Amino acid sequence: MRSIRLTEWVIAILNETIRADAEFQLNQRNAWIEFSNKTEMVDGIDITAGFQHQRSLLMKELTFDFDLIPDVPRFWDKVLNLILFRQPQHGYYYRLKKKGETGIADIHVKMIIKRDQEERFQQEVILDPKDSPKAEDIHVVDVAR
């Protein structure tokens, strides 16, 4: 049973968002340079005049919504942990809820990644219900890293 803390997962998604945003800006810049070099004048009119290139190309906010339900370790995982003397990490183990699946004591997670006033990325995790465990104590099982 491989798990990752919810807080670590949020940081991984934040890092991937920053990488994707930087790549998007570079691709847009290269496309603009290629476009403006090839199309200077059409019928005597500069079609690139008035374009405000590189404007509003930044991602301002991304929101991820998903549900987690409690995960019970499989029998063979328990046996393997005993044989290899592995100590389970302390915390609460959850897994992603599948579409149409009903769960008891599920947690709705809303992950918001946005830019602040200085254009730096910030992340926020909102857990519902409010009395659910802290994000630091939640382990998400079977998430591809």
Strands 92-96 and 138-141: parallel
* Residue 57 pLDDT: 63
User: Strand, helix or coil at 49?
Assistant: coil
Question: How confident is the model over 112-140, as pLDDT tens digits?
Answer: 999 888 888 889 999 998 888 888 888 88
Question: How confident is the model over 57-114, as pLDDT tens digits?
Answer: 667 888 999 999 888 777 777 677 677 766 666 678 888 888 888 767 689 999 999 9
* Residue 40 pLDDT: 66
Residue 39 has pLDDT above 70, yes or no: no
Give the percent of the chain with pLDDT over 90.
Answer: 14
Q: Which two tokens stand for residue 68?
A: 């987690």
Q: Where are the domains of the chain?
A: 3-141
Radius of gyration of the chain (CA): 23
Q: Which residues pair with 70 in a beta bridge?
A: 94
Strands 107-115 and 3-5: unpaired
